[in-house]
Amino acid sequence: MPVASEALSSAGVWVNRSLFLLSLRRALRGGWLVAALALVCALWVADSPSGGLELGAENGPRIERGLERRAMWTAVCLLVVPALVIAAAREAAMRREGGAAWLTSSAAPQRVVLASTWSGLCAAAGVGVLGLSAAAELAAGAAGATALRSAGNLPIEADEGAVRADGLHWRSPAPADLPPRSRARLELSTWSRGGPATEITLKVEREGGGEGTILEDRLARAAIVELDLPPGEGDFLFTLVRRGGGAAVVLEPAALSLLVPAASERLASVALASRLLLALAAWCALGLGLGAWMSARGAVAVLAGAQALVWLSAGPSGSWLPAADWAEALSWVGEGIVPPPPTAAAWLGTGAWVLFGLGLARLGAACGWSRA
């Protein structure tokens, strides 16, 4: 029989297959999968989330599919995420409280025990997110012919953001390698001192000449308008004109986004799934880490509080925090637009949180205080 010291000292053994499968199995139990399935079915048969909204002929179907997707992701996430985080915290707390003497007295190094448990939880997260993505796409129905992806903001180079009588002119540098059929998306709001609504004309041309693109629309309160960006050379020259009287129009800061063609609308679910998987990897590791020091309830409460703080306070610089841009990504999806993929900072941040969480769990297991 091979002795433990030989097998345990072999380099590269980080995951015990049997413990990984046990962790996966435990994370998937508890009926949350059944509850998630029931919720998916309920959402499926419910009315379209667009309700009575008037969605315009051009972008309406795309936005309607986006709203279906967003509703499914929002509702089912509320079930899947807590279930997995609770499973992680409960597993660690159970070990801390002596409920797994067979494991805590085993010869396996803590790194193997923790890595196996965490990877099992992540695999369960993968199963849940895969099912959620499939449900969201089934709910959204057939994808449209043209899909758009958010490619960041276009800078607005102008002195003021309010439309005067002669209109507002501004310049936006064109990104290199701009794909054809790209669009600009503007967030506008009205200021109703002069009336409840107003009509606008938005025009964009290239500095190097050529035919521009014109959009005419009627705005009431906040509105999002999209127009095609013309091909050509040089910067984009925008002109926003208010026709007639009515409300003043305000161009919000950082309100000009670039939308580029995407391979498929379904990439929206891929972008959300990758964000959620990254966040769940971090949350499960933190759940294991906190559960090694406190009760499962306490660990979940601390994590929920910290995440609420992240969502309330994290700005653009907080993208290394778990799911910091989740609300923004959901908002894109609701407009039928594919959110940008997670940033490098999100990947690096997740890695750091995972290491921190597992380190905390290892310290808790090694420290006599936690077992007292």
Footprint on this chain of another protein (rule: CB under 8 A): 1-8, 16-19, 22, 25-26, 29, 98-109, 112-113, 366, 368, 371-372
Q: Phi/psi at 249 (nearest 5 deg)?
A: -110, 135
Please give the Cα distance from 138 to 37 (Å, whole number).
Answer: 13
Residues 6+ apart with CB under 8 A from 133: 269, 270, 272, 273
Comparing CB distances to another protein, the nearer of 120 and 212 is 120
Q: Which residue lies nearer to another protein by CB, 108 or 314?
A: 108
CA distance 316 to 265: 25
Contacts with 279 (C-beta within 8 Å, 6 or more apart), sequence order: 81, 322, 323, 326, 350
CB of 175 to another protein, least distance (A): 53
Determine the 3-state secondary structure of 236 from DSSP.
strand
Q: How far is the CB of 347 from another protein (least distance, A)?
A: 31
Min dist CB 117 to another protein, Å, is 12
Residue type at 269 in one-letter notation: S
Q: Return the number of the residue (31 or 102) whose C-beta is nearest another protein.
A: 102
CB of 78 to another protein, least distance (A): 26
Q: How far is the CB of 94 from another protein (least distance, A)?
A: 9
Cβ distance to another protein smaller for residue 33 or 100: 100
The residue (of 357 and 364) whose beta carbon lies closer to another protein is: 364
Only one residue has tokens 């609300």, namely 327
**183 versus 371: smaller Cβ distance to another protein:** 371
Q: Which residues have a Cβ under 8 Å from the Cβ of 103 and sit 6 or more positions away?
A: 19, 95, 113
CB of residue 362 to another protein, shortest distance in Å: 13
CA distance 321 to 353: 8
Please, which residue, 2 or 51, has the CB nearer to another protein?
A: 2
Element (H, E) at 362: helix 344-366
| Residue closer to another protein, measured from CB, 17 or 193 | 17
Residue carrying structure tokens 């025990």: 113
Sequence-separated (6 or more) residues with CB below 8 Å from residue 164: none
Query: In the bound complex, what is the minimum distance in angstroms from residue 87's beta carbon to another protein?
Result: 13
**In Å, what is the CA distance from 130 to each residue of 29, 122, 136, 158, 268?**
17, 12, 10, 45, 13
Six token digits for residue 130 = 């895969």
DSSP for residue 308: H
Query: Minimum CB separation from another protein for residue 108, in Å?
Result: 4
